[in-house]
Structure 1
Amino acid sequence: MRLDHDLVSSVLKTDGFLRSFKLLGSTIKHDSVQIVIELTDNLLRVGSIMNGGAIATIIDFAGGLAVMNDESVLNEVTTNLSIQYISPVSKGPVTVDAKVLKRGKTISFVQIDIHDADHVLCATALGTWFIFR
């Protein structure tokens, strides 16, 4: 499947769970995806910082997008996701960069980083996705 900004935006708008995120922009390359989201009130927890579950969700979404951006891939599912929360996200927009480290026949490995509006690294993750071809 080949991704473009309109498809990414459509998924965020139509998926019941992902609908919480407001996409501001996206850059899509063969082995990487960058998405920029608005830090809206519904993503904040006590202390006016981004909820860890929201961070995990957008990391998982971006990693899956990076894996899907290959014409031979029909779908993907996350099999493992390890997240390191480094600094609180308190200032948006939030930038999420996902890069495929290795593509196999059925498994892909992806690194995902989240930066706040000041370009501070707030979270980093390594994930594994099972690929349906």
Structure 2
Amino acid sequence: MITAEELNELLKQEEIFNFIGIKFERIEKGYSRLTFNYHERLTRIGGILHGGVIFSAMDYAGSMAARSLDNVKDEVTVELKVNFLKPMKDGPFVVEAKVINEGKRIVTIEVWAYDRNKNLCAKALGTWVVYRF
């Protein structure tokens, strides 16, 4: 399995990863955790984190939780439904993802986004298709 450090180095090739400033802290089988800091360039009018940024971070977390499963060489998001619960304005932010159901091709994952004060600010449920070796 790829380490968080190796994953961060690999994903530096993706502009959106760099733009948001994501850093994976932990990767385990069926689980991932990432962080990123508050920056004005990530906000909408009013100074709160833009929903598209939150969605993208949650998608990264879910994707890497899917990729961490046995024999997965790639994954693609099929659907990701996000409920935005509270404004996110106090960083750093933490996003965690956990596989809740694993099939041969389809994986279901829950994703949570928290602010600095550990308030649950967004919750998502998604499905990913996985491509195995």
TM range (shorter): over 0.9
Deviations 1:7-43 (A, max 9, x none): 2312442102222122355112212111111122221
Corresponding pairs, count = 132
Matched, 1:13 2:12: yes
Matched, 1:125 2:108: no
Calculate the TM-score normalised by the size of structure 1.
0.93
CA distance in 2 between counterparts of 1:29 and 1:54 reads 24
Match of residue 92 from structure 1: 91
SS in 1 for 2:128: strand
Calculate the TM-score normalised by the size of structure 2.
0.93
One-letter amino acid matched to 2:25: S
Unmatched 5+ stretches in structure 1? none
Unmatched 5+ stretches in structure 2? none
CA distance in 2 between counterparts of 1:85 and 1:9 reads 26
CA distance in 2 between counterparts of 1:19 and 1:11 reads 11
Match of residue 101 from structure 1: 100
For 1:47-126, list aligned pairs within 5 A.
47-126=46-125
CA distance in 2 between counterparts of 1:71 and 1:58 reads 23
SS in 1 for 2:57: helix
